[in-house]
Amino acid sequence: MSDDPQGPASAGAVPPVPQPQKKRGGRPPLLRPTPDVLERVHAYALQMPSKTDAAEAFGVVAVTFDKFLRREPEAMRRWTEGQAERQRIRRLRVEEEFRATAAVAPQPVAPGPGENCPTCGQLVSGPEAVTLTQSEITNAAKEFDRLIDRHLAARKAPRGARRR
């Protein structure tokens, strides 16, 4: 037998370092699809524009909230329903404001015969009066903006290229 008190394993061999064992199943999820949490998901979708804000309200990071929505189909359904409802409410508000503004807006004035047109400056002759509605003015402004944008976006011709 050998005189080494450590035994034959210590004669030059290094014992392996024990590796920490990972727990099975990992950490339990922070968010669970309880009825209360699902109701809060729907309410936050109505109130908040982003998942980051909703995650902050739940007290978790945005990645955790996003994983929760992907993991739980019912939570994702409630989130998308809330977002759609928020968009619908916003659209209705805009339409209501538009109707209120349109009711107060002055009606277009049609110049009579012998008067000048406010847009082109020509003299109106005859019984046909020139009527400019708000939509016609808006369409003309859009067309003007498109022409300007097209002009600004045009590339310069390469050197040596002939212009026509």
What pLDDT digit, counting tens, does each position of 22-45 carry? 556 656 667 888 999 999 999 999
Q: d(Cα 92, Cα 90) in Å, to the nearest integer?
A: 5
CA dihedral angle for residue 132, residue 135, residue 139, residue 145, rounded to 10 degrees: 100
pLDDT tens string 84-141? 999 999 999 999 988 888 777 777 667 777 777 777 777 777 666 566 778 888 888 8
Whole-number mean pLDDT of the chain?
79
pLDDT above 80 for 163: no
Instruction: Locate 41 and state its tokens.
Output: 């998901």
Give kind and range of the element (H or E) at residue 61: none
All structural domains of the chain with their residue ranges: 30-105, 107-154
DSSP H helical segments within the chain, as ranges?
Answer: 35-47, 51-58, 62-71, 73-104, 134-153
DSSP state of 116: B
Q: d(Cα 116, Cα 124) in Å, to the nearest integer?
A: 6
Instruction: Locate 88 and state its tokens.
Output: 């619908």
Which residues contact residue 159 at a Cβ distance below 8 angstroms, ignoring those fewer than 6 apart?
none
Q: What is the largest CA-CA distance in the chain?
A: 130
Instruction: Locate 51 and state its tokens.
Output: 């998942």
